[in-house]
Amino acid sequence: MEDKKSPQPDLVKIYNAQQMLEAEMIKAILEDEGIPAVVKDARLTLMIGWPLWFRGFDVLVPSDQAEKARTLLENERGPDWVCPKCGEKIDGVFDACWKCGVKRE
């Protein structure tokens, strides 16, 4: 008997976040607009399973929705800013610090 699975769409990276919460927030923005998104932990591992290095969290979308997703994020994005409480550099798409929760002034 042949296993008939639906084909998986080709996914492309449209964003890289250093924090999981940041990646999940980007994913939520995209999904609110009907664009399916996946967060992938971008680390290389040795065969024993230890991380070799960590490159953040990639946000992936189907290739046929990538341009729409990029445009959406560009339109949502304001200037990058620095949190006045903790000093974390915040991507312009966010109105609150993902590290300590302080709202942008």
What average pLDDT does the chain have? 83
Break the chain into its structural domains and give their ranges.
11-76
SS3 of the chain:
CCCCCCCCCCEEEEEEECCHHHHHHHHHHHHHCCCCCEEEEEEEECCCCCEEEEEEEEEEEEHHHHHHHHHHHHHHCCCCEECCCCCCEECCCCCECCCCCCECC
CATH number of 11-76: 3.30.70.1530
Q: What is the mean pLDDT of residues 85-90?
A: 92
Residue-wise pLDDT for 35-44, tens only, equals 999 998 866 5
45-61 pLDDT, tens digit each: 555 555 556 678 899 99
Does the pLDDT value for residue 1 go beyond 60?
no
